[in-house]
C-alpha cells in the first residue's frame, strides 16, 4: 500500500544534511526551519497564515478550538473518515452530527441542510482520499445558516479546484503531514491554515499551552487560556521542507499512476469520480467492487496488499453509536464495497501491470 522507506539518494542526503544542521544549531523548538516551513506553506496554499503543529489531529482540534466550538454545539460532519474527524469535534465538547456520503465518498452536500438545528455551529467536510468535497455548495449553505467551515484537509494537501487549493475554502483548515500523507513528514506533523488573523493568533496561543510567547523568553507562564502542547519540532519542519522540495516530482509520479489505473482497470470496477477542473490530492486510489472480500483475498494470495479503511463507520464505532445517527445508507454501502489498492510513488511499471492484471482477472472470476 505504502512504501515509506527512503530509497532516493538525493532525498536521503538532503534529510541527513538538514538533520545535522538542526543538531548543530540546537533550536529544537521554534527553530528557523519552522518559520521557513510556515512561510513556504502559506505561499503554496495562497493563505495568509499557517502554523506547523504536532499532528493533523492537533491541527483539526486547534482549528475547532480557535472558533470556540464547545459543549452544547453541534458540528455536521461525515461518518466515513478516520475517527479523528469526529474525535476532534468531541474533544472540544461538541457533538458530531453525521450526514450520509455521496458516491464520491465525500459528505453529501445536498443532505446537510436537513441536519441543521439551532445548535449547529459548524461544518467539517473531509476530502476523502484527496478528492475535494463540493466546497462551493458547502460554502453557500454555511453562508445561509451562518455556520463556520473547518476543512479536514488531512488527505488533500495539494488538491485544487479551478486553481483554488484545498484549505482555502474554509474559515480555517487542518492538514496532516504524517509519513503516509501527500506531503509526507518523517514522523507526526500537521498544519493549520487560515486567512483570518484572529483565528491564527488564537491557534498560535493554543499551540503553545495557551501561553503568549515572549521573544526574550523571560515570561514563560503567561497562560491566557487552558491548552496543551501542540508544537511542531524543528526537526520535523526541516524534514518537511525537504519533502516539499520533492513534492512536485512525487505528485507527478502519482498522477501517472492514477492515470494508468484509470485507463487500465476494468470499467466494471467503480472508480472515484473526480470533477472537471479538479486536481485531487494524491493520497489514495479507492475502487468499489461487488465481491470485495473475495477480491481482497484473491489479491492477497497474489502478494498484492490492499486495505479497507474507515471500518466501522465513525457513527458505528462504540463511542458514537446511537439510533439518532440516522441510516447513513450510502456510507454503509460504500464501506462494504470499497477497497484501496497500492498507491505510492515507488510502484514500478511492472508492479502496476501486475496489480491491474490480477485485479481485472479477479473481477472476471467473482462477478
Ligand X SMILES: Cc1ncc(COP(=O)(O)O)c(C=O)c1O
Judged by beta carbon, residue 283 or residue 298, the one nearer ligand X is: 283
- Closer to ligand X by Cβ: residue 231 or 363: 231
**In angstroms, what is the minimal distance from the CB of 198 to ligand X?**
24
Closest distance between ligand X and the C-beta of residue 157, in Å? 11
Question: Shortest approach of ligand X to residue 108 CB, angstroms?
Answer: 17
Q: Which residues pair with 96 in a beta bridge?
A: 75
Our CB check for ligand X shows the closer of 53 and 363 to be: 53
Minimum distance from residue 154 beta carbon to ligand X (Å)? 3
CB nearer ligand X, residue 82 or residue 354: 82
Q: How far is the CB of 151 from ligand X (least distance, A)?
A: 10
Q: Are strands 172-176 and 286-288 parallel, antiparallel or unpaired?
A: unpaired
CA distance 318 to 136: 33
- The label of the residue with cell 491541527 reads 59
Q: End-to-end CA distance of the chain, in Å?
A: 24
Toward ligand X, which CB reaches closer, 32 or 312?
312
CB 158, CB 140: distance < 8 Å: no
C-alpha grid cell, residue 66: 480557535
Beginning with the edge strand found earlier in the chain, give each strand of the sheet holding 160-161 in spatial order: 164-165, 160-161, 278-279
C-alpha to C-alpha distance for 343 and 308, rounded to whole angstroms: 14
What gap in Å lies between CA 273 and CA 262, rounded to an integer? Answer: 10
User: Which stretches of the chain bind ligand X, using CB under 6 A?
Assistant: 55-57, 60, 81-82, 84-85, 126, 152, 154-155, 176, 178, 188, 190
Amino acid at each position: 500500500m505504502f512504501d515509506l522507506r527512503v530509497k532516493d539518494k538525493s532525498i536521503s542526503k538532503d534529510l541527513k544534511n538538514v538533520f545535522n544542521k538542526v543538531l548543530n544549531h540546537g533550536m529544537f523548538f521554534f527553530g528557523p526551519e519552522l518559520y521557513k516551513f510556515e512561510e513556504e506553506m502559506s505561499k503554496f496554499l495562497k493563505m495568509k497564515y499557517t502554523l506547523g503543529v504536532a499532528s493533523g489531529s492537533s491541527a483539526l482540534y486547534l482549528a475547532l478550538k480557535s472558533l470556540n466550538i464547545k459543549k452544547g454545539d453541534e458540528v455536521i460532519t461525515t461518518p466515513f473518515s478516520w475517527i479523528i474527524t469526529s474525535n476532534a469535534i468531541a474533544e472540544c465538547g461538541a457533538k458530531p452530527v453525521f450526514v450520509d456520503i455521496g458516491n464520491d465518498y465525500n459528505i453529501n452536500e445536498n443532505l446537510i441542510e436537513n441536519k441543521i438545528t439551532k445548535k449547529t455551529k459548524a461544518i467539517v467536510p473531509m476530502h476523502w482520499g484527496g478528492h475535494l468535497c463540493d466546497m462551493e455548495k458547502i460554502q453557500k449553505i454555511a453562508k445561509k445558516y451562518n455556520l463556520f467551515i473547518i476543512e479536514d484537509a488531512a488527505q488533500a494537501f495539494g488538491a485544487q479546484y479551478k486553481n483554488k487549493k484545498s484549505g482555502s475554502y474554509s474559515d480555517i483548515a487542518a492538514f496532516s503531514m504524517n509519513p503516509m500523507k501527500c506531503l509526507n513528514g518523517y514522523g507526526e506533523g500537521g498544519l493549520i491554515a487560515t486567512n483570518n488573523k484572529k483565528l491564527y493568533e488564537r491557534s498560535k496561543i493554543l499551540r503553545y499551552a495557551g501561553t503568549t510567547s515572549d521573544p526574550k523568553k523571560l515570561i514563560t507562564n503567561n497562560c491566557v487560556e487552558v491548552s496543551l502542547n501542540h508544537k511542531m519540532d524543528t526537526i520535523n519542519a526541516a524534514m518537511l521542507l525537504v519533502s516539499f522540495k520533492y513534492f512536485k516530482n512525487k505528485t507527478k509520479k502519482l498522477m501517472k499512476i492514477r492515470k494508468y489505473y484509470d485507463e487500465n482497470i476494468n470499467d466494471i470496477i467503480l472508480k472515484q469520480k473526480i470533477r472537471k477542473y479538479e486536481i485531487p490530492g494524491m493520497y489514495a486510489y479507492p475502487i468499489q467492487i461487488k465481491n470485495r472480500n473475495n477480491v481482497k483475498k484473491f489479491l492477497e494470495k497474489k502478494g498484492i496488499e490492499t486495505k479497507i479503511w474507515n471500518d466501522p463507520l465513525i457513527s458505528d464505532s462504540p463511542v458514537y453509536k446511537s439510533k439518532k445517527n440516522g441510516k447513513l445508507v450510502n456510507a454503509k454501502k460504500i464501506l462494504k464495497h470499497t477497497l484501496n489498492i497500492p498507491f505510492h510513488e515507488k510502484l514500478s511499471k511492472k508492479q502496476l501491470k501486475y496489480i491491474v492484471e490480477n485485479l481485472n482477472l479477479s473481477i472476471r472470476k467473482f462477478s
